[in-house]
Amino acid sequence: MKDTAVAKLIRQETERERRGLELIPSENYVSKDVLEAVGSIFTNKYSEGYPGRRYYGGQDNTDPLEELAIERAKKLFGADHANVQPHSGAPANEAVYYAWLETGDTVLAMDLGHGGHLTHGAPVTRSAHQYNFIRYKMKDPTTGEIDYDELRALALKHKPKIILAGFSAYPRELEYAKFADIAREVGPECLLMADMAHIAGLIAAGVAKNPFDYGFHVITTTTHKTLRGPRGGLILSKGTVSNPLKAPEHTLENIPTLIDRAVFPGTQGGPHMHIVAGKAVAFGEALEPAFKEYARQIVKNAARLADELKKRGFTLVTGGTSNHLILADVYGSFGIDGKVAEEALDEIGLTLNKNAIPDDPLPPFKPSGIRLGTPAVTTRGLKEDDMARIAEWMKQAIDARDDKSVLATLRKEVETFALQFPLPSDQ
Ligand SMILES: Cc1ncc(COP(=O)(O)O)c(C=O)c1O
């Protein structure tokens, strides 16, 4: 690369990734092939519209590319339709809201403090100004059980047009059948939407339940977390697919077409075809048997990491994990806030993020918790016994958080260990 300033930063980032262990549950390391596709010449091409119906010429290769990504995504998740164009998870959610809601309509979604995502109605978002978000919570954060009685009561009172199941900081499985029963009680206009951004890879591998098996109409996801693809979004749906250039009737059966129209031209311009290429590669990889084994190992590693943390005095929200993600209350456990823990762990090369815990007594910038997960370290090849080592480093770093020399020694240990596990792009 001729641009030495950017080249230097890329080199430094590669070294940072090589020498540390990535525990942020929403990150992963993509394969060499995904990286190659994302860095490909498809970045040059404008392809507004959909295959066979574009607003620009020269679509000889983009049409089959997008069709390939769509077919693979449908197969992975058992969907009738896939829109592979959303630039990321937030615009994917935005497009579904736009497809189904009128201004002022109600969405019933998981409370942000109990694991929901910003795009599920946080007051700072644009959609929260346009739609009316009502929130359900866990009944008891020590077990993680959702308060389905409250969810039902809220649904019957507010008659939401969308009931949204999904989370970015919830370590347990949702009971999709209960969501579906409640939506049926609300009425035939109630759309069941699952935002599976975090667990899409687990669902694709059959390791987590698939909301479509319980009557959900729409699944949104990012493609860059457990699914191990490029940074992007994806919308899957059930229903009839028709020409997106013609406005269909506003029915649940037509939701695939309503979504296509809401993505383009509703909320986005031209798709990023180099990213669509990366998605197609990642979906192909996720269809391979090896991906099932990978997803199983993510969950095994997370369960072991949770146990090892508990042995060392960490209190875990919901008492553990059933997926890839762990939420630890470091304030309750050790009297420090999540920011202090995040920084101490960063010092030794373990990257994770501070996070609020349910009904957090501390403010958002210095919350009580840390959030961590195993998708990325599992990609590196780490197994259950390595989780004990990570838990031990975490405890040692937190104990020695003010001791620079102990932190430096721990950093060397983490680095020596991490370098034994090459990044996929190095192999
Ligand atoms: C559940 C959920 N939905 C949506 C998003 C937004 O995705 P993006 O950051 O790609 O816009 C995230 C990202 O963390 C998420 O966890």
Mean pLDDT, to the nearest integer, of 120-135? 96
Q: Which amino acid does the sequence have at 146?
A: I
| Cα separation, 199 vs 25, whole angstroms | 10
**Percentage, residues of the chain above pLDDT 70:** 100
**Percentage, residues of the chain above pLDDT 90:** 98
Residue 80 CB burial class (10 angstroms; 0-12, 13-18, ≥19) = middle
Contact (CB, 8 A) for 372 and 343: no
Whether 225 is catalytic: yes
Q: Could you give phi then psi for residue 234, rounded to 5 degrees? A: -155, 135
Where along the chain do the CATH 3.90.1150.10 domains lie? 293-426
Measured between alpha carbons, how far is residue 203 from residues 6, 26, 213, 276 in Å?
37, 15, 11, 20
| Cα separation, 185 vs 152, whole angstroms | 9
Measured between alpha carbons, how far is residue 225 from residues 18, 115, 168, 235 in Å?
18, 16, 11, 15
Catalytic residue among 195, 285, 308, 342: 195
Contact (CB, 8 A) for 333 and 313: yes
Average pLDDT value over all residues in the chain:
97
- Sign (positive/negative) of CA torsion 405, 406, 409, 411? negative
Whether 308 is catalytic: no
| Cα separation, 128 vs 114, whole angstroms | 18
**Counting atoms of ligand 1 from 1, which one is nearest the CA of 167?**
1
Whole-number Å distance, alpha carbon 403 to ligand 1 midpoint, is 35
pLDDT on residue 138: 93
Show the 3-state SS of the chain.
CCCHHHHHHHHHHHHHHHHCEECCCCCCCCCHHHHHHHCCHHHHCCCCEECCEECCCCCCCHHHHHHHHHHHHHHHHCCCEEECCCCCHHHHHHHHHHHHCCCCCEEEEECHHHCCCHHHCCCCCHHHHHCEEEEECEEECCCCEECHHHHHHHHHHHCCCEEEEECCCCCCCCCHHHHHHHHHHHCCCCEEEEECCCCHHHHHCCCCCCHHHHCCCEEEEECCCCCCCCCCEEEEECCCCCCCCCCCCCCHHHHHHHHHHHHHHHHCCCCCHHHHHHHHHHHHHHCCHHHHHHHHHHHHHHHHHHHHHHHCCCEEHHHCCCCCEEEEEHHHHHCCCHHHHHHHHHHCCEECEEECCCCCCCCCCCCCEEEEECHHHHHHCCCHHHHHHHHHHHHHHHHCCCCHHHHHHHHHHHHHHHCCCCCHHHC
Mean pLDDT, to the nearest integer, of 114-121? 93
Whether 97 is catalytic: no
| Cα separation, 258 vs 287, whole angstroms | 28
Whether 195 is catalytic: yes
Answer whether CATH 3.40.50.300 is correct for domain 293-426.
no
Q: CB count, 10 Å around CB of 173?
A: 13
Cross-strand partners of 53? 50
For the segment 146-187, what is each residue's pLDDT rounded down to a tens digit? 999 999 999 999 999 999 999 999 999 999 999 999 999 999
The model carries a pTM of 0.97
Conformational region of residue 159, where left means phi above 0, alpha means psi within -120 to 50, and beta covers everything else: left
| Cα separation, 380 vs 186, whole angstroms | 45
pLDDT on residue 154: 98
Whether the pLDDT of residue 279 is over 90: the answer is: yes
Mean pLDDT, to the nearest integer, of 189-199? 98
With cut-offs at 50, 70 and 90, classify the pLDDT of residue 312: very high
- Ligand 1 in reach of 165 Cβ (< 6 A): no
Q: Could you give phi then psi for residue 112, rounded to 5 degrees? A: -55, -40
- Ligand 1 in reach of 99 Cβ (< 6 A): no
pLDDT on residue 232: 98
Whole-number Å distance, alpha carbon 230 to ligand 1 midpoint, is 13
Tokens of 29: 């390391």
Where along the chain do the CATH 3.40.640.10 domains lie? 32-286
Whether the pLDDT of residue 225 is over 90: the answer is: yes
Contact (CB, 8 A) for 321 and 303: yes
pLDDT on residue 245: 87
Mean pLDDT, to the nearest integer, of 25-48? 98
pLDDT on residue 160: 98
- Ligand 1 in reach of 168 Cβ (< 6 A): yes
Whether the pLDDT of residue 427 is over 90: the answer is: no
| Cα separation, 224 vs 29, whole angstroms | 9
Ligand 1, from 107, 117, 221: best to mutate by most atoms within 8 Å of Cβ? 117
- Ligand 1 in reach of 127 Cβ (< 6 A): no
- Ligand 1 in reach of 34 Cβ (< 6 A): no
pLDDT on residue 358: 94
Whether 48 is catalytic: yes
pLDDT on residue 200: 98
Tokens of 325: 């993600």
- Ligand 1 in reach of 195 Cβ (< 6 A): yes
For the segment 369-415, what is each residue's pLDDT rounded down to a tens digit? 999 999 999 999 999 999 999 999 999 999 999 999 999 999 999 99
Tokens of 145: 């059980």
Indicate which residue's Cα is closest to atom 4 of ligand 1.
89
With cut-offs at 50, 70 and 90, classify the pLDDT of residue 12: very high
With cut-offs at 50, 70 and 90, classify the pLDDT of residue 33: very high
Catalytic residue among 62, 222, 321, 378: 222
Candidates 3.30.70.141, 3.40.640.10, 3.40.50.720, 3.90.1300.10; correct CATH number of 32-286? Answer: 3.40.640.10
| Cα separation, 242 vs 79, whole angstroms | 15
Nearest C-alpha neighbor of 236 from the set 404, 399, 82, 41 = 82
pLDDT on residue 289: 97
Contact (CB, 8 A) for 79 and 286: no
